[in-house]
Structures are given as C-alpha cells and as structure tokens.
Amino acid sequence: MKIRAIAFLTFSGFLRNKLMILFLVLFGIVVLLMMTPLLAMKSQAAAQGLPHTETVVLSLIGSIMSTLSGFGSLLAAWAAADAVWSDIRSGTILAVVARPIHRWQFLLGKFLGVQLLMVAYVLMMLALSYLLAAIGGGHIHPAPWLLIVYPLVRYALYSGLAMLLATLMHPIVSFAIMLVIMVAETIVAPGGNPWYLPAWIKTGLYAVLPSPNLLSETRYLTITEASLKSTSPLHHLTALAYGLDWALVFFLLAAWLFSRRSLSRE
C-alpha cells in the first residue's frame, strides 16, 4: 500500500510537470513531421492507382516508432533521474521518509511511478502504431503484448540505471551520462562497424554495456507474419529476462546507495 501510494503520487507529479508537457508537445510535433512521408506515399499510390506495398508502410511505421521509442528511452532516463532528486531539492522527501517506511520502499515507489509513466507512453505509442497502419493501409502483425512488454523492459533498464546514477550525482550529470551510454550502445551494437573505434574497445563496451537491441520492439514491427511465428517463446523469455536482470541489478545498487546518502538539501 505504501509503495503503491508513492508510485501513484510520483506518476501524478509527472503528469503536472512542465517539462513533461513540453516533451508531449515535442512528441506530437515529431509524429506530425514523420507522418508526412507516409501520407505522401499513400497519396502517390492513390493518384497512380497503384496497390500499396505493406512492406514499405511497415518500414515507415518502424522508423517512426523507432524514433519515438528512442524518445521514450530519454524520457525514462530523465524521469528516473529527476524523481528522487526533485523531492530532495524541494524538501518534500523529509515528511515522506519520516513516516514508517524504509528508504528502499520509497525508492521502489519512485521507480514504479516512473514505470507507470512509461506504461502510459508505451500505450500512446501502441495506439499510434495502429493508427499509422490504418492510415497507410497496412497491418501490424506482432501481438500487442510484444509491443508493450519489450519497450517497458527496456525503459525499466534505462530508468534503473538513471536512478542509480542520480543517487550519486546531480540529475543533469546523470542524464548526460545516460545520453553517452545510449550513444555508445548504438555504436557498439552488432551490425555497426565504427571504423574510428578499435575492435578491442568495441568488444569491451559491448560486453560491459546493456544491449538494448535485444529488447527492441520495432524489429517486430517490420517483419512478416511468417518470420514472426518462427520466434520461439523461449527467445522472448530470455530476451526479457536479460533486460529485467539488468534493471534489477541497477535498482538494487541504487537502493543500497540511497540508504547511505544524506537526504538534506545542504
């Protein structure tokens, strides 16, 4: 009950946050801008009387959702870094932690509040995917749970890492480090071949950093029904367990550090 109360209060706080409103406005602008190629393609196909190609539509939706999914990772990192810090900065944490709760319970409540925000974001993305598919005349083949659970696990991983960093340093510094990590992950991901990076650094970074590619839902958006069926439940299970394991490790480390830090504003 106590953790749930903190989680819901954190979520309510996010919904009233000015930065969050700005983020949603940006989300809307990006969606509108990225819809133009889809609409152009649809209109061209209609003008020339050509049948639409589902592969092209799905590929466009995939790239739109990939951008939004990246936005989501940034949102998860920022929300987690700010969740605890803003309470310390404003002093609201003192009255809450003075109650009979453990510090880890407070942190878990904050973490779950961030996950609630990300659930709302993922549902928005899901609704948008179906809307875009309907506009483009295509079909979303993967089951909705795939498009919900995969990004949520990825966001849990990022928010856990951001929360861990924010227990040690200022949230802006934490967020900057998160950005660097995200860029590094993309560079060292399989398939990428950065000529400027020695192989041993690439291999080392790949081994150390979490690999969000394994938790990408957008790859399922673009594949056909046949190849989708070939993905076994065990593959999903191991991929999701991989992400949850990282998230759990980050959260436990954050909880351990948080139990030892000062909560004063000084």
Partner 1 sequence: MPPAIEFRRVTKQYSSRFSKGVTALADVSFEVEAGEVCGFLGPNGAGKTTCINTLMGFLFADSGEVAVLGYPPGDVRAKSQIGFVPENFAFHPFLTAPKLLRFHATLAGLDSTAAAARIPELIAKAQLYGHEDLRIGRYSRGMVQRLGIAQALLADPQLLVLDEPTSGLDPAGRKDVREILLALKSAGKTVFLSSHILAELEQFADRVIIVDRGKLVREGPLSELLDRGGRVAILVDHLPEEMERFLSERGAAIEHGAPGVRVLVDPAMKREAVERLWAAGCDVIGMYPVRSSLEDLFLKLVGDREKAR
- Cα–Cα distance, 71 to 65 (Å, whole number): 10
SS3 229: helix
Q: In degrees, to the nearest 5, what angle opens at C-alpha 61 toward C-alphas 34 and 22?
A: 45
* Binds partner 1 (CB under 8 A): choice among 90, 186, 203, 224: 90
Q: What is the DSSP string of 70-101?
A: HHHHHHHHHHHHHHHHHHHHHTHHHHHHTSS-
| Contact region with partner 1 (CB under 8 A), list: 84-92, 114-122, 129-137, 235-243 | 84-92
The answer to whether 163 and 81 are in contact (CB under 8 A) is: yes
Q: Is 5 in the site for partner 1 (CB under 8 A)?
A: yes
CB of 104 to partner 1, least distance (A): 11
Please pick, from the candidates 31, 116, 209, 263, the single residue that binds partner 1 as defined by CB under 8 A: 263
Q: In the complex with partner 1, which residue's Cβ is closer, 229 or 260?
A: 260
Which of 32, 47, 50, 98 lies at the binding interface for partner 1 (CB under 8 A)?
98
d(C-alpha 263, C-alpha 265), whole Å: 7
Q: Please pick, from the candidates 32, 95, 199, 234, the single residue that binds partner 1 as defined by CB under 8 A.
A: 95
Nearer to partner 1, 110 or 154 (CB): 110
Nearer to partner 1, 95 or 234 (CB): 95
| Closer residue to partner 1 in complex, CB, 100/233 | 100
**Binding of residue 238 to partner 1 (CB under 8 A):** no
Say how many C-beta atoms besides its own lie within 10 A of residue 165's C-beta.
Answer: 24
Our finding on whether 235 is near partner 1 (CB under 8 A) is: no
The answer to whether residue 36 forms part of the interface with partner 1 (CB under 8 A) is no
Q: Exposure pattern of 124-161 as b/e (b: 16+ CB <10 Å)?
A: ebbebbeebbeebbbebbbeeebbbbbbbbbbbbbbbb
Q: For binding to partner 1 (CB under 8 A), which residues are involved?
A: 1-2, 5-6, 9, 12-13, 16, 90-92, 94-103, 260, 262-264, 266
